[in-house]
Structure 1
Amino acid sequence: MTAERVQRRLAAILAADVVGYSRLMEADEAGTLARLKTLRVDVIDPAVARHSGRMVKLMGDGALLEFASAVEAVTCAMEIQKQVAEFERAVPADARIRFRIGINVGDVIVDGDDIYGDGVNVAARLQALAQPGCIYISRAAADQVRDKVPVGIESLGSQSVKNIARPIEIFCLVDAAAQDRPAAAAPDRAEPAKKTSIAVLAFNNMSGDADQEYFSDGISEDIITDLARVAELHVISRNSSFVYKNSPVSIRQVAEALGVRYVLEGSVRKAGNRVRVTAQLIDAATGGHAWADRFDRDMTDIFTVQDEITQQIVAALKVRLTRTETDRLFGRHPANVTAHDCFLRGREQVWLHTRTGNINARAQMARVIEIDPAFAAAYALSAFAHINDYINGWAANPAEALATGLDLARRAIAMDESLAEGHFVMGVALLWSRRPDEAMAAVERCIALAPSSAEGLLLRAHIEMFTGRPTRSIETIDAYMRLDPVYPEIALQFLAEAQFQLRRFDMAAETLRRRLERNPDAPTAYALLASCYGHLGRIDQGRSAWAQVQRTDPGFSIERRRKMLPFKNPADFELRVEGIRRLGLAD
């Protein structure tokens, strides 16, 4: 009796798996499975068929494929990585499906429809070593495809791997490694790891008077504003860093949550005409102090203290300032301490995002301007309050509120062209005046002056959505969320609007549900959610969402929003109306 002969053949083997599969499933099991199914039907299976490949088996979060040619295997892998990145671009960065792929050419043992052996094992080991979104190939595969595919091949050296007797030389397809990075990266879209990262916590009010909280907060915010102007720094926004005010969490925990290396904390004691400011810069990696100091001064010297703190931080972080940055950072404070105090009080009111806060802020800015008519930032903040009245429907005469805001923004910039906040407010005013191209120019100037302006990035994302560039909008929101990781729920509305514009209605609906978990009384979220459900054919859920619109805002009007929302292409708004119409709820 003779032994059964083992069948072998030479093949190109592609092994792939989903990065962070368990985390994705834990966060959204149904949604992840649905997206994976869509990717297989719309992207993977067609690519495999085009390149004469065979799906050997699916293994939960992975797949094994066989090709007769290394060129076909590599070309197929490149197409899959590119198309998956494009397909998932509308998804927040931390929730995207990404693949690792390994390819080897070798001898395989055939067992029915299955294959196994060292040829398969090497492909699997390469896949396990690959970076997310990348394709790693073996020396055998590299020799077969070099100069035959339009991609760079870079050697990563040899490495010993489990269950393979000899070290394997690893090659990376360079273009594939770049697929997951946004194209045409502007400086603010760069990964923050390339910059020195810092969060400035709210300074403790040690004055024994709770009414002085605005002052200690204001000192902290002024420092954030100054540091945000430095191109080499990644500065966390006030919104996120102030979350830890009066919180017992450790500096290391804060740094991990905000994604920074350094944390600045301090205190302010104000007594009569004297002020004491202490500050310490902590390296979260070691827990040690990179710098610390105490300043005992007259109140009239408070601006000098802020300049000295900023200078010391920049020096401790070994950041190189350009001459322009130095000119913008130092010695440009208001001349009048009383005017500055009123400004801090008013700015605190604006952050309340209420009608009363807006009224109080405008009153404080009027006093600032009366004391110091050249206080440019006061004009900008007053402009912002007027525009907020227009956007939120708080103004008795909306057109007048918007026109006033635009005029005040112009005056702020005329007084100080280097005031990033002035260009930001100008961008908001121009957007709502239906002048989106001019609005984009204004916000780009804002970001050029203050690269860590989270507000500037969020405004740019909104302009990109209104001008029909939802993919770019989502990329900008990703960059914004790195600067404001504890972002407000309105950011989820902006993200959902961009996803909706890409016709990713299921994804937009999930984002809107996340917003509504944080704010169950947001009529704009319910309205867009209803439209999503209409497009998805989920009629009962859509009508239920529309009922919530009526509950939270009985005066909600589609026609008013059609006239107000500054879409460059009216068809983008009509896509929203069509979803409502499918519910039988719009004329």
Structure 2
Amino acid sequence: MERRLAAILITDMVGYSRMMASNEADVFARQQKLRLEVIDPKIAEYGGRIIKSTGDGVLVMFHSVVDALRCAVMLQLEITEREAFQPLQERLVYRIGVNLGDIILEDGDIYGDGVNVAARLVQVAEPGGICIAETVVSQVKGRVSSGFEFQGEQRLKNLPDPVRLYHVKMVPEKPADRQMPLKIGDFTFNPKSGVITDANGEIVHIRSQSQKVLAVLAETPDKLVTKDKLISEVWNGIATTDDSLVQCITDIRRTIGRGSIETFPKKGYRLRIGNATSAPAPAIAPNKKRYVWPAIVFLFLMSGASIYLLWPSDPSEDSQTLDIIGGPSDIKLAVLPFTNLSGDPELRYFSNGLSEDLTTDLSKVPDLTVISYASSVELNETEQAFSRIAESLGVRYLVRGTVRHHGDRVRINVSLIDTGAGSNLWAERYDRDTRNPFDVQEEIARNVAETLSLTLGSKATEQRRVEPDAFYMLLRGLEKMRTYSPSGNAEARKYFEQALEFDPDYARAYANIAISYGRETEFRYSEGISIAEIQKGLEAAITAIRLNPNLPDAYFALGILNLALNDYDKALAAARHSIKLDKNYSDGYALLAEAGVYGGDLSEALAAIRNAKLLHPKHPATYDWVEGHILFQLERYEEAKPLLEGVVEQTPDFLRAWLLLAATNGQLLDLEEASFAYMRAQGLLPEIGSGKAEEFAWYVSEERRANLRNGLEAANQELRKVK
């Protein structure tokens, strides 16, 4: 028998007996799917151990009460999102109780006051809510995103003393707050706490120095970590020898398996995750160049025939350069995110999705400039006047709206505001069935266009032919994709794949799947590219174009993937075609600019990125990086420098921005700043050094390669002097 302090999480399904009595088979199947796809993976993600499950709930133990509460919050939010479009009486709703207290472990089960209090907490939790004791609040306050509301001191059944109870005001955890435990063979390592547990969930003890070495290796699993980095971070300047490091590596291998760590003689070590007894072939090639080996080229050539069949028949259409980049029209408009009045924050994806799709529809209107929805999505109309919002976006007209759900009905209020005149030009209310959201979009777009005395584009909208459930899954995915993070990208792709389960011919779902794979290459600028990701991305993009040749997103995805393949001609053609389909497509212009700096016309590239910025005033830092890159290759170094400095300030882990800043300062002979930027780049990718600069110059032009190489060599020479 063992006693310890632990965090306990218990879930309980609301109305379980009633629902099972009415439709046992359906409820059981849905509940099992929820366990498989949401509950169990989320518990594992936050390091929890399921002790036992009942028909309607689970008992879970955590080593960290912070992880337990974060897990509870994300469980409730994701379950609510999954069930939002089930009829109200048929939704699966859970209560959760979380407690921190003493427990007894015996024969794989747990007992004690910590468990008893948690069991009572879950009974008084609100449906869809989380109830916690004051002991939890005192431990997690300031360490989680959520807030707490005191519910008073209550006596709970069979407990001798009253308990001070709190309701959790749930706020989604930020991706940066999550630290997922790593699976290493039969063991699990929590990088945050340093705790190693075996297959039975028991803690495995290891020397503290060895634990620190494992933590550094776990920061970049399946990648080489140099001996110098390990010694520097673990011993922190204290004089030591390689023998101390070797002893720690031996200790780790003895504890979690010989195959857990791979040695690279005279270089360093690599932590293998997954099955530590075998050495699976890495999905990412060790060569850090962005060039892709013959297998990828062969794959692309095999799919090339399909792509060319889908391309415009007149080659001159996509061989034009500056002609397609016209200035914005005089009539400029932005769609603000529609306000969700439904009381359920998880329905925000519907109102945001409606706003984003309305932006896309209005972009098809001739003689109308529509600002990218990504620029307006974070604006809150209650925080500033409409005139200020319009001024910040560079527009005169704003479309705003509210969305309120009533069971299977949705009420949408929309108005068109002329901020110059300070008046409403038009307002309308729509009551619709949530199963048919598409007619509302088209009707609103047409009314706005008519009010502005314009003609709505005559092309039929693809959405009218889409299964509503597929559309809702797409909206959920777009909401996740807007986080611009690797984790959000992966979650978004799952929703797009679910959309295809409802509608296998949904072109927008395929296009966004392709974009998600294209983004995988963008998120890993410092690494090689996975063959599987490129292949899946190309297949999805080609399928999207076959299903809908007029979908800009599909060509944008094709362009990103071609850029990853260093096929700049096809990337440029895809970017130009996406812009022809949507003249307000800011990402299409940005892609045209990025492909242009590697293998196109620099004047066209500069015009394209500046047009992208006009269409997307709240653009991401990558837009500034592209413009800085173009100015660098135009030898306008003084103009490039402040842009690149802003980029590294916003995105300090952006390797290519540091390299370009180093080269810019090198060309300006600001050698101290050049060496500093080059040193920061080395910190992100230790393998770069003398003679390696050409590996980061992916240009068709030898002149552009030489320009970057010369700047980097000046920075590197100065850095060697300092050292």
Q: Structure 2 length normalisation: TM-score?
A: 0.52
Distance in 1, matches of 2:488 and 2:463, equals 27
Partner residue of 1:362?
493
1:471 maps to what in 2? 603
Q: Find the counterpart in structure 1 of residue 591 from structure 2.
A: 459
Distance 1:397 1:433 in 2: 9
Structure 2: runs of 5+ lacking an equivalent: 1-319
> Are 1:307 and 2:442 matched, yes or no?
yes
Q: Measured at CA, do residues 555 and 236 of structure 1 come closer, stay the same or move farther in structure 2, by a change above 3 Å?
A: farther
The Cα offsets for residues 121-149 of structure 1, whole Å up to 9 and x where unpaired, read as xxxxxxxxxxxxxxxxxxxxxxxxxxxxx
Q: Which residue in 2 is equivalent to 1:387?
A: 518
Corresponding position of 1:441: 573
SS of structure 2 residue aligned to 1:352: coil
The whole-number CA distance in structure 2 between the counterparts of 1:195 and 1:522 is 36
Distance 1:342 1:184 in 2: 37
Q: Distance in 1 between matches of 2:339 and 2:410?
A: 13
> Residue 520 of structure 1: CA displacement?
3.8
1:333 aligns with 2:464: yes
Number of residue equivalences: 399
User: How many percent of aligned residue pairs carry the same amino acid?
Assistant: 29
- The whole-number CA distance in structure 2 between the counterparts of 1:375 and 1:366 is 10
Q: Aligned partners of 1:331 and 1:401: how far apart in 2?
A: 27
Distance 2:699 2:382 in 1: 42
- What is residue 204 of structure 1 aligned with on the other side? 339
CA distance in 2, matches of 1:480, 1:407: 28
One-letter amino acid of the counterpart of residue 253, structure 1: R
One-letter identity of the residue aligned with 1:448: K
Displacement of 1:272: 2.3
Q: Which one-letter code corresponds to 2:464 in the other structure? A: H
Q: Is the 8 A contact 1:418 1:449 kept in 2?
A: yes
- Alignment CA distance shift 1:184-1:471 (3 Å): closer
Would you say 1:219 and 2:351 are equivalent positions?
no
Q: 1:377 to 1:575 in 2, by over 3 A?
A: same
User: What residue is the counterpart of 2:326 in the other structure?
Assistant: 189
d(CA) in 2 for partners of 1:382, 1:559: 38
Match of 1:533 among 665, 686, 711: 665
Q: Distance in 2 between matches of 1:351 and 1:443?
A: 21
Offset at residue 400 of structure 1 (A): 2.2
Rounded Cα–Cα distance in structure 2 between residues aligned with 1:473 and 1:458:
8
Q: Does 2:535 align with 1:400?
A: no
The aligned amino acid for 2:427 is A
Q: What RMSD, in angstroms, separates the aligned Cα atoms of the two structures?
A: 2.5
* 1:557–1:544 Cα change, 3 Å: closer
CA change 1:385–1:282 in 2 (3 A) is same
- 2:404 corresponds to which residue? 269
Distance in 2, matches of 1:557 and 1:382, equals 36
Alignment CA distance shift 1:557-1:449 (3 Å):
farther
Match of 1:316 in 2: 451
The 1:267–1:188 alpha-carbon spacing in structure 2 relative to 1, beyond 3 Å, is farther
Q: 1:450 maps to which residue? A: 582
C-alpha spacing 1:213/1:534, structure 2 compared with 1 (3 Å): same
1:543/1:583 contact within 8 Å kept: yes
Q: Which amino acid aligns with 1:230?
A: V
**What does residue 67 of structure 1 align with?**
none
Cα separation, 1, equivalents of 2:584 and 2:535: 28
Shift of 1:198: 0.4
1:260 aligns with 2:392: no
SS at match of 1:245: coil
In the other structure, the counterpart of 2:429 is: 294
Residues 494/413 of structure 1: CA separation in 2 closer, same or farther (3 Å cut):
same
Change (3 A) 1:355 1:331: closer
- Mapped contact 1:526–1:548 kept (Cα < 8 A): yes
Structure 1 CA distance, aligned partners of 2:697 and 2:716? 23
Counterpart position of 1:376: 507
Q: 645, 655, 660: which one pairs with 1:523?
A: 655
The answer (yes or no) to whether the contact 2:647–2:657 under 8 Å persists in 1 is yes
Q: Tell me which of 479, 493, 501 is aligned to 2:633.
A: 501
How far did residue 184 of structure 1 move? 8.3
Asked whether the 8 Å contact 1:214–1:348 carries over to 2, the reply is: yes
- Unaligned 5+ residue runs, structure 1? 1-182
Contact in 2 for aligned 1:189/1:476 (Cα 8 Å): no
CA distance in 2, matches of 1:212, 1:560: 50
| CA offset digits 1:237-275 (Å, max 9, x no partner) | 012112313551111111122121210001111232111
What residue is the counterpart of 1:162 in the other structure? none
Q: 1:560–1:215: structure 2 CA closer, same or farther, 3 Å change rule?
A: farther
Aligned mates of 1:489, 1:248 — CA distance in 2: 24
Contact residue 433 and residue 566 of structure 1 kept, 8 A:
no
Compared with structure 1, are the counterparts of its residues 201 and 189 closer, same or farther at alpha carbon in structure 2 (3 Å cutoff)? same
1:344-403 per-position Cα deviation (integer Å, ceiling 9, x unaligned): 111111221211112111111111112111100000100111111123229996232122
**Separation in 1 of the partners of 2:394 and 2:334?**
9
1:145-183 residue CA offsets vs partner (Å, 9 max, x unmatched): xxxxxxxxxxxxxxxxxxxxxxxxxxxxxxxxxxxxxx9
Runs (4+) of structure 1 exceeding 6 A deviation are 555-561
* 8 Å contact kept, 1:197–1:261: yes
Is residue 236 of structure 1 aligned with residue 380 of structure 2? no
CA 1:376 to 1:583, structure 2 compared with 1: closer, same or farther past 3 Å? Answer: same
